[in-house]
Amino acid sequence: MDTIYTLEARDHGMLEVMADYFEMDHDAIYREINRMFQELVKVLKSKAVNYQELRACLTPSTEKNEVIFVFDSQQIDSNWYGGEVFKKIIPLLDKRTSHSFLCGDYISHGLEQDRLYHELVSSINIRNASDYLHSTQYYFVYMNNVSAHLLKLMDEGLKSYKPYTGYVDITFSCFMKKYASVTLVNSFIKHKDVVVCGHEDDRDNSENVNMSGYAFEENGYKCLSLQESLAGVFLSYKIERPVYEGFRRDTEFSINSISKNVSAIDDFNVEIDEKKLKYLEENKSGRMRKAELLSLGREEVEALIKEKINNNYIYNMTLLKDHGVAKFNVLLEKNVSNGVPVRLMVALEYMPTQRKLRLITMV
């Protein structure tokens, strides 16, 4: 059983370009994705990294936070303000944890400055004074899999750094989360005391280069790299967002990684066995109660999952060859009466012949 935690065809265009240029059918795409994946696993293993241990870096969590740390570049006396920012961030990281980092400036992306100003000031936990002149003066560092304890340590550790304006919690759906998903760029993943990033495709995978130039080695981290064609497709964290028109092939490629029979799942029926629902209610009652699902009938829960299918990407793609089962996960975010949403991980079996998704578990 091989599980592909995430596959990036949403913003990384290599798979789409390759498939279109060579006029590849689903069989050929399936073989090529899995060939590339096996190569990735082999390269990482040669660098003493076990891909199976990278799950926390590459998939969303139902328990941990997602955070954007905001810095005012106007207060940084260097054109390379990203390097200065990471000089402050890296020493605060915990060598026992794993995270993905995405970075970028707060560019307009077609939005009015008044809107960008309002969204930032209404969501940020302010730590240091900043004179807002234009959105582009702010540099964002996104980090996933952040515990409340680590967030507190990092926030307190950055407070004395004047360019640190504050942080935005984007654990749940909001404008800033959607904005980050279409604007910020994957920079690197940190797995314990190892940093992994991409390097040029004409550089051999046996080499290791700190492409960002950030102060990893100075802080006791080992910096590893591999060709961007592999790192970009399989080691890029995707911040959750609705599936917009023009980006639906991302889900198609993800399905194609575990099946040669590829269909759009938007109109698939979601099926929950009554015995399965009863089992979940009896054995997973805590989270289901928190999500206010215990009072819902089977058809209502099916409708809720179906509604959310098109509001996110899929991850943890797995093919159980011995059983002929292809499955994946999707994160379900449900609003509840106390105003704090609940996130549940839903595992679904992909059944294209019957055009349905069968619930395996929900936790």
Give me the pLDDT at residue 355, please.
96
- 10 Å CB burial of residue 50 (0-12, 13-18, 19+) is exposed
Q: Which whole number is the average pLDDT over 113-126?
A: 98
Instruction: Please say if the pLDDT value at position 246 is more than 60.
Output: no
Give me the pLDDT at residue 267, please.
86
| C-alpha span between 24 and 299 (Å, rounded) | 39
pTM given for the model: 0.95
Closest CA to 26 of 231, 248, 258, 247: 258
The contacts of residue 304 (CB under 8 Å, 6+ apart) are 293, 296, 332, 334
Give me the pLDDT at residue 101, please.
98
pLDDT digits (tens, 9 = 90+) for 68-116: 999 999 999 999 999 999 999 999 999 999 999 999 999 999 999 999 9
Give me the pLDDT at residue 283, please.
85
Find the Cα–Cα–Cα–Cα dihedral 353, 356, 358, 363, rounded to 10°.
140
Under 8 Å between Cβ of 140 and 69:
yes
Give me the pLDDT at residue 244, please.
64
User: Of the ranges 33-37, 225-229, 287-291, which one carries the lowest mean pLDDT score?
Assistant: 287-291
Instruction: Please say if the pLDDT value at position 26 is more than 80.
Output: yes
Give me the pLDDT at residue 312, please.
77
| pLDDT above 70: percentage of residues in the chain | 98
Give me the pLDDT at residue 245, please.
61
In Å, how far are 186, 212, 286, 321 from 64, measured between CA atoms? Answer: 19, 26, 17, 32
User: Of the ranges 27-41, 215-229, 326-340, which one carries the lowest mean pLDDT score?
Assistant: 326-340
Token pair of 107 as six digits: 């560019």
**CB count in 10 Å sphere of residue 168:** 23
